[in-house]
């Protein structure tokens, strides 16, 4: 059996009860950029500060969950590259749509990703952990300032 790791997942307060009851589903709201590695995953963080999506814990409408999963299910990638790929795919007020640039950033995102055991702090500016498959409710704990609390 592989090593169990603890990760962080942020969830909007309006979705907390469902997450604790049903677990986290590997059905991302984010564009998969045409990459298999971004399909069927739950996005997590190594620590709260890595979560740039909800401002590293500064948004009061989000709650953090401690997620415990087998490390063999985890890949770490640099969210900066996926963000750039999305920006070029969708276009931006200062950047026109550019499918080639989007595809190149998506490829960089993929080829620089590493299995979690190979990740070393500082390799990526914004490390995100892609966990393959659903995460069961018994693997979740609500994080408070005092530490994790039993979910579900």
Domain count, the chain: 1
Residue 83 lies in a domain: no
Over residues 82-89, mean pLDDT: 94
Least confident of 10-14, 27-31, 127-131: 27-31
pLDDT digits (tens, 9 = 90+) for 40-57: 999 999 998 887 665 545
Nearest to 136 by CA among 31, 24, 9: 24
Mean per-residue pLDDT of the chain:
88
Residue 88 lies in a domain: no
Nearest to 56 by CA among 142, 109, 127, 139: 127
Over residues 113-122, mean pLDDT: 96
Residue 26 lies in a domain: yes
Q: With cut-offs at 50, 70 and 90, classify the pLDDT of residue 146.
A: very low
Residue 23 lies in a domain: yes
Residue 11 lies in a domain: yes
Per-residue confidence (pLDDT) for residue 58, from 0 to 100? 60
Per-residue confidence (pLDDT) for residue 68, from 0 to 100? 97
pLDDT digits (tens, 9 = 90+) for 128-145: 999 999 999 999 999 976
Per-residue confidence (pLDDT) for residue 30, from 0 to 100? 72
Residue 146 lies in a domain: yes
* 123 DSSP 8-state letter: S
Residue 129's region, left for phi above 0, alpha for psi from -120 to 50, else beta, is: beta
What value, to the nearest 5°, has the Cα angle with vertex 126 and ends 58 and 116? Answer: 115
Residue 148 pLDDT greater than 80, yes or no:
no
Q: Which domain CATH number covers 31?
A: 3.20.170
Per-residue confidence (pLDDT) for residue 85, from 0 to 100? 95
Note down the domain range covering 14: 4-78+113-150
The count of C-alpha atoms lying within 13 angstroms of the C-alpha of 70, restricted to the half-sphere facing its C-beta, is: 8
Residue 98 lies in a domain: no
Is the entire prediction scored with pTM above 0.75? yes
Q: With cut-offs at 50, 70 and 90, classify the pLDDT of residue 90.
A: very high
Residue 99 lies in a domain: no
93 phi and psi angles, rounded to 5 deg: -55, -30
* H and E: helices and strands count for the chain: 3, 8
């Amino acid at each position: 059996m592989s090593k169990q790791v603890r990760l962080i997942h942020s969830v909007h307060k309006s979705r907390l009860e469902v997450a604790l009851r049903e677990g986290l589903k590997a059905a991302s709201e984010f564009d998969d950029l045409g990459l298999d590695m971004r399909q069927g995953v739950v996005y997590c963080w190594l620590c709260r500060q890595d979560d740039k999506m909800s401002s590293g814990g500064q948004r009061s409408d989000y709650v953090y969950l401690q997620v415990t999963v087998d490390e063999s299910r985890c890949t770490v990638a640099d969210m900066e590259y996926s963000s750039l790929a999305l920006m070029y795919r969708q276009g931006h007020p200062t950047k026109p749509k550019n499918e080639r640039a989007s595809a190149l950033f998506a490829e960089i995102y993929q080829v620089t990703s590493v299995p979690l055991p190979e990740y070393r702090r500082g390799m990526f500016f914004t490390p995100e952990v892609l966990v393959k498959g659903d995460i069961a409710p018994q693997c979740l704990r609500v994080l408070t300032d005092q530490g994790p609390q039993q979910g579900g």
